[in-house]
Structure 1
Amino acid sequence: MIDFYTWTTPNGYKVSIMLEETGLPYEGHPVDLGNQAQFDPAFVKISPNGRIPAIVDREGDGGAPLTLMESGAILVYLAEKTGKFLAAKGGQRAKALEWLMWQMGGVGPMMGQANHFLNTASEKIPYAIDRYVGESARLLKVMDGRLGQADYLGGDYSIADMATYPWVAVGFDLIRQARPDIVGEGANIERWMKNVAARPAVQRGMKIPSV
């Protein structure tokens, strides 16, 4: 059994999708970010960085409980635990990890900042908006180019797609409307989004937690 600590954010949805795709038994524990529950000492023991998602695999390393934070690390761990959605070795594994790291280092941070400065920040700062929206748009153009070469980011459907989909599902239209000169039509992303969204496990994962 896996204890899954999460909230209604793209980073949380990455892991809920993976748990649903693999069929691993898990118990969800909402961590209300609006009430700053991520800073509760009990949660910080599980996730020292005070961020969701986090898991506790009750039957982890050698049967002893294993705690794990950071969505990318959790996805790799669950993939290796189940033997699903990440090849054991070789080029296919390398490509999936390449695009997973691309998401972790680019899409998540840049789209998160773009959303903050566009929709959340109390002060509209033109430089910050241009910086983060422009970089998000550039990343989407890179993604569209990749998906013109392959059906999924890593070639086959993998944890790279699970990591990227929740962010793009939220931010694609927003960024494309803001910077159509960079993103372009994004037809390959649209096709990919429809294919990923049609998966029953993705549909279930995007509803967790239900609050």
Structure 2
Amino acid sequence: MSEPDIHLYTAATMNGYKPVIFLEEAGVPYDLTFVDFSKQEQKAPDYLLLNPNGKIPTVYDRAEGRAIFESGAILWHLAEKYGQFLPSDPVARSEVMQWTLFQVGHIGPMMGQAMYFQRIAAPNGHDEPFSIKRYVDESRRLLEVMDTRLDGREWIAADEYTIADMMLYPWARAYVWAKVDVDGLSNLKAWFDRIDARPAVQKALTIPKAQPQFWDENADPSAFLKENAARFATDVKKA
């Protein structure tokens, strides 16, 4: 049996789930390598040849003989390669690109910092209320931008389910882990419900590993919180 075109290197993080969501939604065969942060596998020389930034995810496209890194570039590549979840109309494609970059440039960095200062820095002895408030407040503002955009719309761009939704969902839906309040954001919550109901998404969120504490307010985060803080303790010490 021949190998699938797509080999995915990923981990169970907000960025790591994005290409899994696409591949499961599109029904594309792929194989997967789990990148273990605790072993610093993302910094291994062989991996850095694929992704010079030493992050996840990365895709190796065997048919093209090349690697693609950065989640937005990966989803754009997959959408063009398989002709799914990216409209052909230039204006609609531009909308998808704009909201994809909104995630890359705003939602991801701000919510990521909200998570870092609360879930990693504070447990390692660096409790910084000013930084926490700054990133939590900005994350809330960005979710309000999404809520306004979704007023009267089912999907974030192009009036259809696209890679822009797949890019934004893992981050925005992880408001629980970022400790960002979503009260009053009814359009955003309805969008969460629509994507939560998609079987391929729910399957994707278990690959390579389910992390219910990211999304579920009723999940007990205590064990993972300790593990996660310890895993990134060296980053805090470097800072």
Q: Same fold (TM over 0.5)?
A: yes
Q: TM-score, normalised by structure 2?
A: 0.81
- Following the alignment from structure 1 to structure 2, what is the Cα–Cα distance between the partners of residues 170 and 130? 17
Give 1:81's aligned amino acid: K
In the TM superposition, structure 1's runs of 4+ consecutive aligned residues that sit over 3 Å from their partners are: none
- Which residue does 1:38 correspond to in 2? 42
Distance 1:72 1:141 in 2: 22
Amino acid at match of 2:138: E
User: Counterparts in 2 of 1:1-211, with a 5 A limit?
Assistant: 1=4, 2-60=6-64, 65-121=65-121, 122=124, 123-154=126-157, 155-171=159-175, 174-176=179-181, 184-210=183-209
Q: Is the 8 A contact 1:7 1:32 kept in 2?
A: yes
Give the whole-Å Cα distance in 1 for the aligned partners of 2:47 and 2:57: 11
Q: 1:207 to 1:145 in 2, by over 3 A?
A: same
Task: Look up the equivalent residue of 1:52 and give its one-letter code.
Answer: I
Aligned partner letter, 2:196: A
CA distance in 2, matches of 1:203, 1:9: 14
The one-letter code sitting in structure 2 at the alignment partner of 1:68 is I
SS state at 1:175 partner: coil
Letter of the 1:53 counterpart: P
Work out which structure has the larger RCO, using CA pairs closer than 8 Å and 6 or more positions apart in sequence: 1
- Residue identity over aligned pairs, in percent, reads 43
2:208 alignment partner, SS class: coil
| Contact 1:14–1:163 under 8 Å retained in 2 | yes
Give the RMSD, CA atoms, in angstroms.
1.4
Number of aligned residue pairs: 201
Once the two structures are TM-superposed, the CA of residue 184 in structure 1 deviates from its matched residue by 4.7
Which residue type is aligned with residue 115 of structure 1?
A: M
- SS of the residue 2:160 aligns to: coil
**Alpha carbons of 1:45 and 1:31: their partners in 2 closer, same or farther (altered >3 Å)?**
same
Instruction: Report the Cα offset of residue 27 of structure 1.
Output: 0.3
What amino acid sits opposite 2:114 in the alignment?
A
Secondary structure, in 3 states, of the residue corresponding to 2:173? helix
